[in-house]
Amino acid sequence: MTTEQLTDQIKKKQSFLCIGLDVDLSKIPQHLLTEDDPIFEFNKAIIDATHHLCVSYKPNTAFYEAYGIKGWQALEKTINYLNEKHPEIFTIADAKRGDIGNTSSMYAKAFFEDLVFDSVTVAPYMGKDSVEPFLAFKNKHTILLALTSNEGAFDFQTKLVDGKEMYKQVLETSKTWENAENLMYVVGATKAEYLADIRQIVPESFLLVPGVGAQGGNLQDVCKYGMSKNVGLLINSSRGIIYASNQEDFAEAAAKKAQNMQQEMAVILKNAN
159 is known as an active-site residue: no
Tell me the residue nearest to ligand LLZGTKA7 as measured from the CB: 148
Residues numbered 85-124 forming contacts with ligand LLZGTKA7, rule: CB under 6 A? 94
Least Å from the CB of residue 236 to ligand LLZGTKA7: 5
Q: Is 205 in the site for ligand LLZGTKA7 (CB under 6 A)?
A: no
Residue 4, burial from CB neighbour count under 10 angstroms (0-12, 13-18, 19+)? exposed
Q: Is 148 in the site for ligand LLZGTKA7 (CB under 6 A)?
A: yes
Q: Which residue of 182, 205, 236, 262 would you call a contact of ligand LLZGTKA7, by CB under 6 A?
A: 236
In the bound state with ligand LLZGTKA7, the residue whose beta carbon lies nearer, of 211 and 232, is: 211
Q: Which residue of 146, 238, 258, 268 would you call a contact of ligand LLZGTKA7, by CB under 6 A?
A: 238
Q: Is 60 in the site for ligand LLZGTKA7 (CB under 6 A)?
A: yes
Q: Is 211 in the site for ligand LLZGTKA7 (CB under 6 A)?
A: yes
- Binding characters for ligand LLZGTKA7, 16-55, by CB under 6 A (x = yes): ----x-x---------------------------------
Tell me which of 44, 96, 128, 256 is the catalytic residue: 96
Closest among 160, 173, 202, 165 to 185, alpha carbons compared? 202
Q: Is 210 in the site for ligand LLZGTKA7 (CB under 6 A)?
A: yes
The three-state (H, E, C) secondary structure of the chain, written as one string: CCHHHHHHHHHHHCCCEEEECCCCCCCCCHHHHHCCCHHHHHHHHHHHHHCCCCCEEECECHHHHCCHHHHHHHHHHHHHHHHHHCCCCEEEEEEEECCCHHHHHHHHHHHHHHCCCCEEEECCCCCHHHHHHHHCCCCCEEEEEEECCCCCHHHHCCCEECCEEHHHHHHHHHCCCCCHHHEEEEECHHHHHHHHHHHHHCCCCCEEECCEHHHCECHHHHHHHHCECCECEEEEECHHHHCCCCCCCHHHHHHHHHHHHHHHHHHHHHHHC
Stretch that binds ligand LLZGTKA7, among 71-79, 83-91, 106-114, 231-239 (CB under 6 A): 231-239
In the bound state with ligand LLZGTKA7, the residue whose beta carbon lies nearer, of 38 and 59, is: 59
Contact set with ligand LLZGTKA7 (CB under 6 A):
20, 22, 60, 94, 148-149, 186, 188, 210-211, 213-215, 236-240
